[in-house]
Amino acid sequence: MPSEQVKSKWMIGKMHKAIQSHTDLRFTLFRAERINDKYVKGSFDGKLKTKPFKIYFKNNFPNEGVEILYKDGENSDRAWVNPNSFPFFTMSFSPENKLIRAGGHHTFKMVGFSTFDGLMSRYETIYKEKFYSYVKYLGVVTWEGMTCYKLVFKHPDYKIIKYQTKIGETLKKIALKRGLNIAKLRDLNKEVNPTSALQSGEELLITNTYEKEVIFYIDSKSFLPVYQEIYDEKGLYEKYAYSNLKYKNPIPEDEFSVHYKEYDF
């Protein structure tokens, strides 16, 4: 294996271990997601535990001051929401709720690094050692005070294909089973409700992989992928950028309670 591929394999291996070991995260997340050829942007300050999944965040924009708290298996698997506006009381919504997504591509359950970790692991399984020949190391960059390794992964065969549905499938189930981007499937099949069960033999358009290309920065200290740009056939589709990252200390359990003193639920 050429030295550049060895270096990429080492970095990605370190990244996998870091994502699995750093289970408590504090951060600011910025997102930019393409919808109808325009970019919808947002930012929030968040706290995350991955095992089990718990998240609190407070929006910077849009909907400044909105607070959301979610804990797997609690509150009937719904999020507590402080709308910071009329009707001025705490409400509960499903993670899939459009108001919580605030116009974005994904639910808050994809926040953090586990989804990216899973994608890279999937590609390593599919392509085996050849995967590292598709990854290029582009040098050292600085992002929000972090010294990072910059890499790019380009799929050798990204394309949009026709897909015949099986009875009971949904866009979401298809995306999860095949490791695809649910937002991209919604874009390609605008007339289809992403959570509605489909009949056998319906024809959809899907991609054959999650993205065409991804540029990502791995922080040289934490080895977390703190910056990610996702590309499709048209160009930049999604960007997720983490800053103010803290990962060394456990987050106290009371910070995942609606009664925590600094929250306004």
DSSP state string for 195-241: TSPPPTT-EEEEESSS-SEEEEEEETTT--EEEEEEEETTEEEEEEE
Contact 219, 226 (CB under 8 A): yes
102 lies in the same domain as 199: no
Question: 118-134, pLDDT tens digit by residue?
Answer: 999 999 999 999 999 99
Per-residue pLDDT, 146:
98
pLDDT of residue 222: 98
Q: Which residue has the tokens 């294996």?
A: 1
pLDDT for residue 170: 94
Indicate whether 114 and 239 sit together in one domain.
yes
> Is 173 found in the same domain as 118?
no
Question: Residue 114: which pLDDT band, with cuts at 50, 70 and 90?
Answer: very high
The answer to whether residue 134 sits within a structural domain is yes
Is 142 contained in some domain? yes
Does a structural domain hold residue 75? yes
| Position with higher pLDDT, 86 vs 223 | 223
Q: Is residue 216 part of a domain?
A: yes
pLDDT value, residue 194: 82
Work out how many domains the chain is built from and give that number: 2
pLDDT of amino acid 149: 98
Query: Does residue 234 sit within a domain?
Result: yes
Q: What is the domain range of residue 176?
A: 160-207
Boundary-marking domain end, from 172, 187, 207: 207
Could you tell me where the beta strands, DSSP code E, fall in 51-190? 53-61, 67-71, 79-82, 91-93, 135-143, 146-154, 160-164
User: Do 114 and 28 fall within a single domain?
Assistant: yes
| 76 occurs within a structural domain | yes
Residue 57 and residue 80 in one domain:
yes
Going by pLDDT thresholds of 50, 70 and 90, the confidence category of residue 30 is very high
264 inside domain: no
Residue 90 shares a structural domain with residue 201: no
**Residue 53: which CATH number?**
2.50.20.10
CA trace torsion 95, 32, 181, 209 (10° rounding): -160
Residue 58 shares a structural domain with residue 178: no
Q: Convert the pLDDT of each residue in 204-231 to its tens digit.
A: 999 999 999 999 999 999 999 999 999 9
239-248 pLDDT tens trace: 999 999 999 9
Residue 24 lies in a domain: yes
Does residue 122 sit in the same domain as residue 20?
yes
Q: What is the pLDDT of residues 132-172, one digit of tens each?
A: 999 999 999 999 999 999 999 999 999 999 999 999 999 99
pLDDT at 236: 98
Regarding pTM above 0.85, the answer is yes
Note the pLDDT of residue 104. Answer: 84
